[in-house]
């Protein structure tokens, strides 16, 4: 069973991801902000991370950069998922190390396909 760390400050978005991932047999870890998410990534070394962008204190771009450049976490693929849908956001997310960038609301089958593509 693959483990997914979801980093999102919205309880309703977290619940949606938790339900989608559980239906598809993933173990789900949850972090409500970027700082906590970075710590959890180091502690648990999940198979993949779903990262929100707009969060207080440490945003998703900063957290992605920290995770993808960390010694113990650089191998973990990060998928950014945000309401920010400008091409500049997508490009900036990839520059921070994200493997993929999806916009909310996320389609379940698309999300499962993207998770599979980055974890193979």
**Cβ burial, residue 20 (10 Å; 0-12/13-18/19+):** buried
End-to-end CA distance of the chain: 13
Q: Which CATH class is domain 3-119?
A: alpha beta
Give the Cα separation of 51 and 115 in Å (integer).
12
Residue-wise pLDDT for 64-115, tens only, equals 999 999 999 999 999 999 999 999 999 999 999 999 999 999 999 999 999 9
Residue 5's nearest CA partner among 23, 34, 24 is 34
pTM greater than 0.95: yes
Query: In 3-state terms, what secondary structure has residue 78?
Result: strand
């Amino acid at each position: 069973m693959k483990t997914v760390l979801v980093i999102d400050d919205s309880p309703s978005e977290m619940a949606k991801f938790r339900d989608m991932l559980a239906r598809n047999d993933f173990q789900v870890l949850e972090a409500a902000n970027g700082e906590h998410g970075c710590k959890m990534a180091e502690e648990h070394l999940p198979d993949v991370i779903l990262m929100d962008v707009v969060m207080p204190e440490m945003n998703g771009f900063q957290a992605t950069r920290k995770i993808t450049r960390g010694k113990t976490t650089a191998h973990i693929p990060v998928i950014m998922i945000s309401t920010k849908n400008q091409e500049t956001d997508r490009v900036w997310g990839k520059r921070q190390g994200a493997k993929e960038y999806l916009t909310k609301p996320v389609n379940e089958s698309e999300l499962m396909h993207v998770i599979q593509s980055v974890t193979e």
